[in-house]
């Protein structure tokens, strides 16, 4: 049986590599998130592992944007990593004047840098591993990187377990082209992105449809539509699976309120916490309506 190719946001030595290694497949690094997802769309990779949100810095905008561009992709799994950084330097380094990393990483260690390296200039790079590679080449003095990076680059650990906020975590999605969905597990998440008309109360209408069906909202993000000032897309995560009557009914209602809706997947939650579904009540109600339509009940 062929081993699936998993594209991931690289290069080697990123947190995304750590996340991708939890799934079975051949890991293939790509320089950016859009390139990793494009590899799935063009068939050069079977799956893509990308970061979607961080508990400190929130959603990853580039991932949100790439999910609605071009041909659809859907999430079939998620995983969550605890985040703690290592600060890596070239052997023999005694002074740190520049420290580089991905902007999300720099934001999560801002206080540590100010307290520990007050004279250092923080510089943004395309990824934490790209920062480590640049330090190895001599372009910067230090890199804020995933701990795994020390296994890929000829660098020493200046500091470990670096983080301003304890218990920070990052969630990653495993994406593929549309096809057979994962079976419901009773502990699932469903994601959609909704493009709405520009009218008063439209977001309230969407949320009301969820609340009326007893559906727990686990994520809500807005992103502007490119080139149209004041118009937005809403990224919505809920507990449950599209195979469940109440989730399917809710998505149909969101479709009625939207100009466009894109399904982003139904998949097992990383925490495996069971979802209170109320599916029996929805099934009973649907059976009653069907019986009334057939003249079998009043």
Residue 298: band (very low, low, confident or very high) from pLDDT cuts 50, 70, 90: low
- Residue of 246, 248, 257, 258 lying closest to 285 (CA atoms): 246
Banded pLDDT at 290 (limits 50, 70, 90): confident
Query: Given 133, 162, 191, which residue is the final one in a domain?
Result: 162
Q: How would residue 23 be classed by pLDDT, with cut points 50, 70 and 90?
A: very high
User: Per-residue confidence at 138, pLDDT binned at 50, 70, 90?
Assistant: very high
Same domain? For 252 and 277 the reply is: yes
β-pair type (156-162, 188-195) = unpaired
Task: Looking at the structure, tell me whether residues 28 and 172 fall in a common domain.
Answer: yes
- Say yes or no: 6 and 152 in one domain: no
Q: Rounded distance, CA 148 to CA 79, Å?
A: 17
Alpha-carbon distance of 148 to 144, in angstroms, equals 12
Q: Choose one of 162, 195, 217: the last residue of a domain.
A: 162
With a cut of 90, say whether residue 43 has pLDDT above it.
yes
In angstroms, the CA 69 to CA 73 distance is 9
Per-residue pLDDT at 42 exceeds 70: yes
**pLDDT higher than 70, residue 246:** yes
| pLDDT for residue 228 is more than 80 | no
SS3 110: helix
Same-domain pairing of 186 and 270: yes
Are residue 109 and residue 195 in the same domain, yes or no? no
pLDDT category at 2 given cuts 50, 70, 90 is: confident
Which active-site residues does the annotation give?
170, 172
216 and 274 fall within a common domain: yes
Q: Are residues 146 and 211 in the same domain?
A: no
**Both 94 and 218 in a single domain?**
no
- CATH number of the domain at 224, please: 3.30.70.260
Same domain, 184 and 270: yes
How many domains is the chain built from?
A: 3
The per-residue pLDDT for 76 is 97
pLDDT digits (tens, 9 = 90+) for 145-169: 999 899 999 999 999 999 998 888 9
pLDDT, position 279 = 75
pLDDT band (50, 70, 90) for residue 92: very high
Residues 75 and 93 occupy one common structural domain: no
Q: How far apart are CA 98 and CA 138, in angstroms?
A: 11
**CATH number for position 132:** 3.40.190.10
Full residue range of the structural domain in which residue 35 is found: 1-82+168-179
247 class by beta-carbon count within 10 Å (0-12 exposed, 13-18 middle, 19+ buried): buried
Please determine, for residue 13, whether its predicted confidence score (pLDDT) is greater than 90.
no
For 267, the 3-state DSSP assignment is strand
pLDDT at site 227: 67
**Looking at per-residue confidence, does 273 or 1 come out higher?**
273
> Of 120, 153, 179, which residue constitutes the final position of a domain?
179
254 and 280 share a domain? yes
Question: For 183-211, what is each residue's pLDDT tens digit?
Answer: 999 999 999 999 988 788 888 999 999 99
Q: How does pLDDT run across 95-121, given as a tens digit for each residue?
A: 999 999 999 899 999 999 999 999 999
pTM: 0.86
**One domain, residues 260 and 272:** yes
How large a percentage of the chain has pLDDT more than 90? 74
pLDDT band at 65; cut points 50, 70, 90: very high
Output phi, psi for 127, to 5 deg: -160, 165
């Amino acid at each position: 049986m062929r081993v699936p190719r998993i594209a991931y946001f690289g290069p080697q030595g990123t947190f995304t590599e750590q996340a991708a290694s939890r799934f079975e497949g051949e890991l293939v690094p790509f320089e950016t998130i859009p390139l990793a997802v494009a590899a799935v769309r063009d068939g050069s990779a079977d799956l893509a592992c990308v970061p979607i949100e961080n508990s400190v810095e929130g959603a990853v905008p580039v991932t949100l944007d790439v999910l609605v561009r071009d041909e659809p992709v859907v999430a079939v799994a998620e995983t969550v990593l605890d985040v703690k950084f290592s600060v890596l330097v070239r052997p023999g380094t005694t002074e740190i004047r520049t420290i580089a990393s991905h902007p999300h990483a720099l934001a999560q260690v801002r206080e540590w840098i100010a307290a520990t390296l007050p004279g250092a200039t923080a510089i943004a790079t395309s990824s934490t591993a790209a920062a480590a590679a640049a330090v190895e080449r001599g372009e910067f003095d230090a890199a804020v990187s995933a701990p795994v990076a020390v296994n890929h680059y000829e660098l020493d650990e200046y500091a470990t377990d670096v983080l301003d906020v304890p218990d920070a975590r990052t969630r990653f999605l495993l994406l593929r082209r549309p096809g057979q969905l994962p079976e419901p597990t009773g502990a699932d998440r469903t994601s959609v992105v909704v493009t709405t008309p520009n009218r008063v109360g439209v977001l309230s209408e969407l949320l009301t449809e969820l609340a009326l069906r007893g559906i727990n909202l686990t994520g809500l993000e807005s992103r502007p539509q490119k080139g149209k000032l004041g118009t937005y897309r809403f990224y919505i995560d809920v507990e449950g699976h599209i195979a469940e009557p109440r989730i399917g009914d809710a998505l149909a209602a969101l479709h009625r309120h939207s100009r466009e809706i894109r399904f982003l997947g139904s998949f097992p939650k990383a925490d495996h916490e069971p979802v209170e579904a109320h599916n029996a009540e929805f099934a009973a109600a649907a059976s009653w309506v069907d019986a009334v339509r057939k003249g079998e009940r009043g």
